[in-house]
Amino acid sequence: MISLNQVSYKAGKKTLLADINLEVQKGEMLAVIGANGAGKSTLMKLLSGDQQAHTGEVRLDDEHIKTYSMAALALRRAVLSQHNTLSVSFLVEEIVMMGRYPHFNGQPSSHDVDIVKSVMNETGVKHLAGRDYSTLSGGEQQRVQLARVIAQIYDIDGAYLFLDEPTNGLDLLYQQQILNTARHLADKGFGVVAILHDINFASRYADRVLILKEGRILALGTPNEVITAYSIQEAFGVQMALFDAYGCKYPFVIPKGIV
């Protein structure tokens, strides 16, 4: 479990996150939604140990996250960040193998090679293995980056996966595939946290949804508890109509317009 206890984070005098209390369990998928600038990426950086809270406590599997070295963190969690630009040429299979760097010195083992193959298969990028990464489309690059971060934690029971807007630049099919993959990993026992802008995807795939507003938790609970016309209007300033379409077990929303 990752737990945040009364966590706050500031940049200069500006408070980006305040009074955050949150637990992320292994085996769950938590979606984080909220307006631009609400603090979603900052929250993810605190959860993943990429940044340290200014006040409060962040614990990863019962240990204070500050006690983990970067090398130790790399064996507990993987992070797909928003911007994955590369200025030098690498083959796609080399990029995915980078996910295994924390696991070997010098040469990858046959186990590392097998994992890279399996993950490329599962994420649908196997056919791109020999391509120069820089020649891929934005959506293809995003899928390769997902393969890389999954390869990092693939063989670590109960590890955590952080995805910052993973569906960015993907077509409808691959948006669903990437979220299916994330869901599948949560079902296998990984703790998955995904920042999503599509409320319907959050509703459809996540066990719980966290809505951030101006650095504070506006709502946290199951999609049915959290995704309401009121909370969406509060968080985004947009009026939404809620549907129970096609017997969906989860809320389904469409915008009515700007408030």
**Binding region for ligand ATP (CB under 6 A):** 11-12, 14, 16, 34, 36-42
Nearer to ligand ATP, 12 or 106 (CB): 12
The Cα 18–Cα 30 span in angstroms is 19
Nearer to ligand ATP, 22 or 116 (CB): 22
Nearer to ligand ATP, 39 or 251 (CB): 39
Nearer to ligand ATP, 120 or 163 (CB): 163
Least Cβ distance, residue 18 to ligand ATP (angstroms): 12
Least Cβ distance, residue 13 to ligand ATP (angstroms): 9
Least Cβ distance, residue 31 to ligand ATP (angstroms): 13
Amino acid in position 127: H
Least Cβ distance, residue 42 to ligand ATP (angstroms): 3
Strand duo 29-34 + 238-243: pairing: unpaired
What are the distances in angstroms from CA 46 to CA 68, 125, 174, 189?
A: 13, 30, 28, 21
Nearer to ligand ATP, 29 or 33 (CB): 33
Helix axes 138-153, 172-187, angle to 10 degrees: 10
Nearer to ligand ATP, 12 or 257 (CB): 12
Least Cβ distance, residue 212 to ligand ATP (angstroms): 6
Contact 192, 28 (CB under 8 A): yes
- Strand, helix or coil at 166? coil
The tokens describing 50, both together, are 């990429």
The Cα 181–Cα 131 span in angstroms is 23
Strands (E) in the chain, as ranges, are: 2-11, 14-24, 29-34, 55-60, 63-64, 77-80, 160-164, 191-195, 208-213, 216-221, 238-243, 252-258
Least Cβ distance, residue 184 to ligand ATP (angstroms): 25
Contact 257, 229 (CB under 8 A): no
